[in-house]
Amino acid sequence: MIDEKLRMWGRRTQVSLQQTRNSFHFCGGSILNERYVITAAHCVEDKIPADIIIVAGTVNLNRPSIKRVIKQVIFHEEYDPSNSWLNDIALIKVFTPFKPSGNIGFVTLPKQDEAVQQGTAARVSGFGRISEDGSGSKVLQQATIYITDQEYCKNMYNKILYDIYDTHICANDPNISRGSCKGDSGGPLIVNGKLVGLVSWAKGCSLTDYPTVFTRVPSYIDWIEKNAVEI
Protein backbone atom coordinates (compact mmCIF):
# COMPACT_ATOMS: atom_id res chain seq x y z
CA MET A 1 0.00 0.00 0.00
CA ILE A 2 1.25 3.48 -0.85
CA ASP A 3 0.88 6.15 1.81
CA GLU A 4 -1.40 8.94 0.54
CA LYS A 5 1.07 11.69 1.40
CA LEU A 6 3.74 9.93 -0.63
CA ARG A 7 1.24 9.31 -3.41
CA MET A 8 0.54 13.03 -3.75
CA TRP A 9 4.25 13.87 -3.79
CA GLY A 10 4.95 11.31 -6.49
CA ARG A 11 2.03 12.25 -8.67
CA ARG A 12 3.05 15.88 -8.94
CA THR A 13 6.75 15.50 -9.74
CA GLN A 14 7.35 12.00 -11.12
CA VAL A 15 7.15 11.16 -14.81
CA SER A 16 7.16 7.98 -16.85
CA LEU A 17 9.25 7.82 -20.02
CA GLN A 18 7.44 5.61 -22.52
CA GLN A 19 7.95 4.32 -26.03
CA THR A 20 5.77 6.32 -28.38
CA ARG A 21 4.76 3.33 -30.48
CA ASN A 22 3.33 1.16 -27.68
CA SER A 23 3.27 3.19 -24.42
CA PHE A 24 5.80 0.81 -22.83
CA HIS A 25 7.33 2.35 -19.69
CA PHE A 26 11.13 2.11 -19.65
CA CYS A 27 12.46 4.82 -17.29
CA GLY A 28 11.52 7.49 -14.80
CA GLY A 29 12.31 11.15 -14.33
CA SER A 30 11.31 14.28 -12.44
CA ILE A 31 9.84 17.60 -13.56
CA LEU A 32 12.38 20.40 -13.06
CA ASN A 33 10.39 23.36 -14.33
CA GLU A 34 7.84 24.23 -17.00
CA ARG A 35 10.11 23.12 -19.83
CA TYR A 36 12.42 20.41 -18.51
CA VAL A 37 12.48 16.91 -17.08
CA ILE A 38 15.61 15.47 -15.48
CA THR A 39 16.54 11.80 -15.93
CA ALA A 40 19.50 9.46 -16.40
CA ALA A 41 21.46 9.77 -19.64
CA HIS A 42 21.46 6.00 -20.19
CA CYS A 43 17.67 6.08 -20.40
CA VAL A 44 17.68 8.15 -23.57
CA GLU A 45 21.13 7.68 -25.11
CA ASP A 46 19.97 5.26 -27.83
CA LYS A 47 16.67 6.95 -28.67
CA ILE A 48 15.52 9.89 -30.74
CA PRO A 49 13.02 12.38 -29.26
CA ALA A 50 10.21 11.13 -31.50
CA ASP A 51 10.53 7.67 -29.95
CA ILE A 52 9.68 8.92 -26.43
CA ILE A 53 6.53 10.27 -24.83
CA ILE A 54 6.46 11.71 -21.30
CA VAL A 55 3.52 10.80 -19.05
CA ALA A 56 3.03 12.98 -15.96
CA GLY A 57 0.50 13.82 -13.28
CA THR A 58 -0.53 10.28 -12.32
CA VAL A 59 0.36 7.41 -10.00
CA ASN A 60 -1.46 4.91 -12.24
CA LEU A 61 -0.24 4.39 -15.81
CA ASN A 62 -3.60 2.90 -16.73
CA ARG A 63 -4.98 6.39 -16.15
CA PRO A 64 -2.47 8.72 -17.83
CA SER A 65 -3.17 12.34 -16.97
CA ILE A 66 -0.78 14.50 -18.97
CA LYS A 67 1.40 13.65 -21.97
CA ARG A 68 4.23 15.67 -23.44
CA VAL A 69 6.18 15.41 -26.69
CA ILE A 70 9.95 15.89 -26.54
CA LYS A 71 11.67 18.77 -28.30
CA GLN A 72 15.30 18.18 -27.28
CA VAL A 73 17.52 15.95 -25.13
CA ILE A 74 20.62 17.44 -23.49
CA PHE A 75 23.26 14.97 -22.32
CA HIS A 76 26.08 15.75 -19.95
CA GLU A 77 29.11 16.38 -22.13
CA GLU A 78 31.24 13.88 -20.19
CA TYR A 79 28.71 11.07 -19.86
CA ASP A 80 30.67 7.81 -20.05
CA PRO A 81 28.71 4.54 -19.91
CA SER A 82 31.96 2.57 -20.22
CA ASN A 83 33.26 4.01 -16.94
CA SER A 84 30.66 3.09 -14.31
CA TRP A 85 28.08 5.27 -16.10
CA LEU A 86 29.93 8.41 -15.05
CA ASN A 87 27.91 11.66 -15.38
CA ASP A 88 24.70 9.72 -16.00
CA ILE A 89 22.42 12.72 -16.26
CA ALA A 90 20.30 14.27 -19.01
CA LEU A 91 17.68 16.98 -19.44
CA ILE A 92 14.61 16.58 -21.61
CA LYS A 93 12.98 19.68 -23.06
CA VAL A 94 9.28 19.47 -23.92
CA PHE A 95 7.34 21.36 -26.57
CA THR A 96 4.34 22.20 -24.37
CA PRO A 97 5.14 23.61 -20.91
CA PHE A 98 4.12 21.91 -17.69
CA LYS A 99 1.76 24.15 -15.73
CA PRO A 100 1.76 23.81 -11.92
CA SER A 101 -1.52 22.36 -10.66
CA GLY A 102 -2.92 19.77 -8.29
CA ASN A 103 -1.35 17.12 -10.52
CA ILE A 104 1.86 18.85 -11.60
CA GLY A 105 4.68 20.25 -9.48
CA PHE A 106 8.40 20.89 -9.77
CA VAL A 107 11.03 18.95 -7.87
CA THR A 108 13.17 20.88 -5.36
CA LEU A 109 16.91 20.92 -6.04
CA PRO A 110 19.70 21.08 -3.45
CA LYS A 111 22.55 23.57 -3.61
CA GLN A 112 25.70 22.88 -5.63
CA ASP A 113 27.80 20.32 -3.72
CA GLU A 114 25.33 20.21 -0.83
CA ALA A 115 26.31 17.36 1.50
CA VAL A 116 24.10 14.31 1.98
CA GLN A 117 24.83 12.54 5.24
CA GLN A 118 25.44 8.81 5.56
CA GLY A 119 22.52 7.01 7.18
CA THR A 120 19.95 9.60 6.16
CA ALA A 121 16.56 8.20 5.16
CA ALA A 122 15.80 8.69 1.46
CA ARG A 123 12.75 8.06 -0.69
CA VAL A 124 13.00 6.29 -4.04
CA SER A 125 10.07 5.76 -6.38
CA GLY A 126 9.17 4.43 -9.79
CA PHE A 127 7.07 2.28 -12.09
CA GLY A 128 9.80 -0.36 -12.48
CA ARG A 129 9.80 -4.05 -11.69
CA ILE A 130 8.54 -5.27 -8.32
CA SER A 131 11.24 -7.97 -8.39
CA GLU A 132 14.25 -8.69 -10.59
CA ASP A 133 12.35 -11.30 -12.61
CA GLY A 134 8.96 -9.63 -12.32
CA SER A 135 7.07 -7.21 -14.48
CA GLY A 136 6.78 -3.45 -14.19
CA SER A 137 4.18 -1.82 -12.00
CA LYS A 138 1.36 0.26 -13.44
CA VAL A 139 1.01 1.90 -10.02
CA LEU A 140 3.78 4.13 -8.65
CA GLN A 141 5.79 2.29 -6.00
CA GLN A 142 7.84 4.02 -3.31
CA ALA A 143 10.28 2.85 -0.66
CA THR A 144 12.42 4.30 2.10
CA ILE A 145 16.12 3.40 1.89
CA TYR A 146 19.24 4.84 3.49
CA ILE A 147 22.31 6.72 2.25
CA THR A 148 25.26 4.32 2.31
CA ASP A 149 28.76 5.05 3.52
CA GLN A 150 30.66 6.07 0.37
CA GLU A 151 33.76 4.02 1.23
CA TYR A 152 31.67 0.92 1.81
CA CYS A 153 30.03 1.40 -1.58
CA LYS A 154 33.42 1.88 -3.26
CA ASN A 155 34.86 -1.22 -1.63
CA MET A 156 31.90 -3.42 -2.55
CA TYR A 157 31.89 -2.40 -6.20
CA ASN A 158 35.66 -2.55 -6.50
CA LYS A 159 35.30 -6.26 -5.77
CA ILE A 160 33.44 -6.67 -9.05
CA LEU A 161 35.62 -4.19 -10.96
CA TYR A 162 33.38 -1.13 -10.94
CA ASP A 163 34.41 2.31 -9.74
CA ILE A 164 32.42 4.62 -7.48
CA TYR A 165 33.16 8.32 -7.95
CA ASP A 166 32.43 11.41 -5.89
CA THR A 167 29.64 12.22 -8.35
CA HIS A 168 27.90 8.98 -7.33
CA ILE A 169 25.78 8.51 -4.23
CA CYS A 170 24.79 5.07 -2.96
CA ALA A 171 21.72 3.96 -1.02
CA ASN A 172 19.87 0.81 0.00
CA ASP A 173 18.28 -0.92 2.97
CA PRO A 174 20.90 -3.21 4.54
CA ASN A 175 18.23 -5.31 6.25
CA ILE A 176 15.40 -5.70 3.75
CA SER A 177 15.44 -6.08 -0.04
CA ARG A 178 13.60 -2.96 -1.14
CA GLY A 179 14.35 -0.06 -3.43
CA SER A 180 14.80 0.45 -7.17
CA CYS A 181 14.84 -2.15 -9.93
CA LYS A 182 14.76 -2.32 -13.73
CA GLY A 183 12.52 0.38 -15.13
CA ASP A 184 13.21 2.77 -12.25
CA SER A 185 16.31 4.28 -13.87
CA GLY A 186 16.30 8.06 -14.06
CA GLY A 187 13.83 8.29 -11.22
CA PRO A 188 14.30 10.36 -8.07
CA LEU A 189 16.08 9.80 -4.79
CA ILE A 190 14.64 12.34 -2.37
CA VAL A 191 16.15 13.44 0.95
CA ASN A 192 14.38 16.04 3.10
CA GLY A 193 12.24 17.05 0.14
CA LYS A 194 15.18 17.60 -2.22
CA LEU A 195 16.27 15.66 -5.30
CA VAL A 196 19.71 14.28 -4.36
CA GLY A 197 19.99 11.34 -6.75
CA LEU A 198 18.92 9.80 -10.06
CA VAL A 199 18.64 6.02 -10.26
CA SER A 200 21.64 4.95 -12.36
CA TRP A 201 22.85 1.36 -11.90
CA ALA A 202 23.37 -1.51 -9.47
CA LYS A 203 24.34 -5.13 -9.07
CA GLY A 204 20.95 -6.81 -9.11
CA CYS A 205 17.80 -5.23 -7.71
CA SER A 206 17.58 -3.79 -4.21
CA LEU A 207 20.28 -5.99 -2.68
CA THR A 208 21.10 -5.68 1.02
CA ASP A 209 24.87 -5.90 0.45
CA TYR A 210 25.35 -4.05 -2.85
CA PRO A 211 23.74 -0.59 -2.73
CA THR A 212 22.07 1.03 -5.71
CA VAL A 213 24.26 3.67 -7.34
CA PHE A 214 22.68 7.03 -8.09
CA THR A 215 23.92 10.09 -9.96
CA ARG A 216 24.69 12.60 -7.19
CA VAL A 217 22.52 15.58 -8.17
CA PRO A 218 24.25 18.16 -5.90
CA SER A 219 27.37 17.68 -8.05
CA TYR A 220 25.48 18.93 -11.12
CA ILE A 221 23.44 21.93 -9.98
CA ASP A 222 25.60 24.42 -11.90
CA TRP A 223 25.29 22.26 -15.03
CA ILE A 224 21.53 21.94 -14.59
CA GLU A 225 21.04 25.68 -14.12
CA LYS A 226 23.18 26.42 -17.16
CA ASN A 227 21.25 24.06 -19.43
CA ALA A 228 17.66 24.00 -18.14
CA VAL A 229 16.80 27.47 -19.38
CA GLU A 230 13.07 28.21 -19.58
CA ILE A 231 12.87 29.74 -23.05
Please report, for the chain, the start and end positions of each structural domain, with discontinuous segments joined by +: 14-106+221-228, 120-218
Among 16, 30, 88, 219, the one annotated catalytic: 88
Q: Residue 215: CB partners within 8 Å, gap ≥ 6? A: 40, 87, 88, 89, 167, 168, 169, 197, 198, 200
88 is catalytic: yes
Among 30, 84, 180, 185, the one annotated catalytic: 185
Among 25, 42, 76, 168, the one annotated catalytic: 42
Domains 14-106+221-228 and 120-218 share a fold: yes
Q: Which amino acid is at 183?
A: G
The architecture that CATH gives domain 14-106+221-228 is Beta Barrel (2.40)
Q: Is the pTM of this model over 0.85?
A: yes
Return phi, psi of residue 208, to 5°: -85, -20
- Output the CATH code of domain 120-218: 2.40.10.10
185 is catalytic: yes
> Would you place residue 134 in the very low, low, confident or very high pLDDT band (cuts 50, 70, 90)?
confident
For 215-224, b where at least 16 C-beta lie within 10 A, e where not — what string?
Answer: bbbbbbeebb
168 is catalytic: no
The mean predicted confidence, pLDDT, of the chain is 93
Sequence-ordered alpha helix ranges (H) in the chain: 4-13, 41-44, 150-158, 221-227
